[in-house]
Amino acid sequence: MDGAMRRLFALSSTLVLALGCGKDSTSNAKAECQLEAIDLSSCQRSTLGALNPEGVWNLNIQLNDGTGAASAMRLSGAASGASMLGLTVTERQVSGDTFYLASDIVGTDSIDLRYALAGCAATGPGKLTGVFRRCQDGRLDLQGTFEAVRVARREGEAESDKVALVGEVPLPRGQPTELAVANGHAYVTAGTEGLFIYDVRTPNAPRKVSESKPSDDFYSDVLVNGTTMYLGTKKSGIAVFDLTDPESPVRVRSVPDKAVEVQSLAIDGNTLYAASPYPNAEVLIYDISTPNTPKLLTRYFVEGAEPGAGERPLDVMVTGGKLYVSHWTYGMTVSDVTNPAKPKLLGRFGAASSRTTAVGTVGGKTLAFDAGEDWGAHLSVLNVTIPESPVQMGEFRMRPEVSIRSVTLSGTKLYVAYYQDGLRVLDVSVPGEPRQVGYYNTWRESDAARGVSFFDGLNTLRVPGDGYVYATETSRGLLIFRETE
């Protein structure tokens, strides 16, 4: 599987890509994506009678050219209430031996597009395999297979174990992307809806105190350093705010001069690091001795990475003079930044795609807890005490249809945001054997906007050391937890 293309598809979450979408297609030119045109002769269609075709499902699409995507679908009693790949279902045929969904849209250049899923076999009421097709003006241009699993709470689990939800407040608009907690406040970015600020000094009663909406931008990440706030954006690089009043940030400037996308931020002393996947696949490194006036030290291109192959920096973490970059298909890299102006690659772990990493010292060893973000994603525990030679010590897996979004280390506990599987608390005191010691299932099928994306559920975690765990959830907003044991 070409990880670069999987990432491209997954981020679109619809397989629409550059063709875009628009009004519903009125064309009848659907020929090669009609149910009758799909060869299902080798399928076990009689098993489809066992399917319960309702609820929210996660999908893994594997195209014949080796690319693919993780996506989702939401089914209901009528086609008008169903969606697939983030698109409205326009045709639905479900009976004892038939499962067929199609979505018709108009792409760019007025191209009529049809996306189709045809069931081949079911191994139970909530597991399905089948055929995927996409047609342009009735002609097949993408095809492959898919597997789908209905999203439900893990068998045998309650709502929670050794973790209590003490506070919850929904966002007024949009979905949260990232979170920072400082000065008794939680700062939540929400993409095009901007920034929402909550007073969390009373954790069981968080309340929104202000908000800031960009005119034409997307807020990806947020980091607070004293009385300065840095926002990673898609169009303005790093937006710098004066935070003398924690409830009223004042925008000072943006860096660099030429706008780039910034997805992740990290600070070590007087140095700010920013992962910029587009357009240049670089890590921007700034001197912030004067916090409101970042001075560019260097644009760091991690040695050996090939952006054209999808090897782009998605997340950064820095500690002990080492920069850890989650570099997607290039894996996790470790670079020496004792001189931040001249970083140097020391080593990398390239056995798995890397989306996010937490680093700390456990049992006298420097450990990196590295996670992917895809169908089948899992946690790898790496010994990086010798950064030139990262060694895998252990791993933690749940079910392949639910992905990790973020990880946070505090002492010998690792807090993992597992999208539809919610918060997972792991004891990592024995690094080779991570052990779950608590959880909270945050995902509920009845919440708004479920089933639109594979990346749905708990997404960002912060453990600032005040006895609480702060998190954001795509439908529920800001959540505050407390461990009960």
pLDDT value at residue 405: 96
Whole-number percent of the chain with pLDDT over 70: 93
Segment 390-399 mean pLDDT: 96
- The Cα 324–Cα 318 span in angstroms is 6
Order of strands, edge to edge, in the sheet holding 379-383? 356-362, 365-371, 379-383, 391-396
pLDDT value at residue 214: 87
Question: What Å distances lie between residue 1 and 4, 8, 64, 371, CA to CA?
Answer: 9, 13, 10, 18
pLDDT value at residue 259: 86
391 falls in which pLDDT band (50, 70, 90)? Answer: very high
Spatial neighbors of 263 by CB under 8 A, at least 6 apart, are: 220, 221, 232, 275, 276, 277, 313, 314, 315
pLDDT value at residue 66: 86
Please name which of 185, 181, 180, 179 lies closest in space to residue 200, comparing C-alpha atoms.
185
Which two tokens mark 400?
């392949």
pLDDT value at residue 320: 95
Q: What is the pLDDT of residues 412-444, one digit of tens each?
A: 999 999 999 999 999 999 999 999 999 999 999
pLDDT value at residue 20: 42
Q: Hunting for tokens 């399905």 — which residue is that?
A: 128
Using the predicted structure, report yes or no on whether residue 146 has a pLDDT greater than 70: yes
Identity of residue 189: T
Segment 176-197 mean pLDDT: 96
pLDDT value at residue 78: 52
Segment 250-265 mean pLDDT: 94
Cβ burial of 65 (10 Å; 0-12, 13-18, 19+) is exposed
212 falls in which pLDDT band (50, 70, 90)? Answer: very high
pLDDT value at residue 485: 83
Helix, strand, coil percentages for the chain (3-state, nearest 5) = 5, 50, 45
Considering only the top CATH level, what class is 160-483?
mainly beta
Which two tokens mark 182?
């400082």
For the chain, what are the domain ranges?
3-150, 160-483
Segment 276-285 mean pLDDT: 97
pTM recorded for the entire structure: 0.93
- The Cα 195–Cα 211 span in angstroms is 5
Segment 367-380 mean pLDDT: 95
Using the predicted structure, report yes or no on whether residue 328 has a pLDDT greater than 80: yes
Among the residue ranges 19-28, 253-262, 332-341, 373-382, the one predicted with the least confidence is: 19-28
SS (H, E, C) 417-441: ECECCCEEEEECCCCCCCEEEEEEC
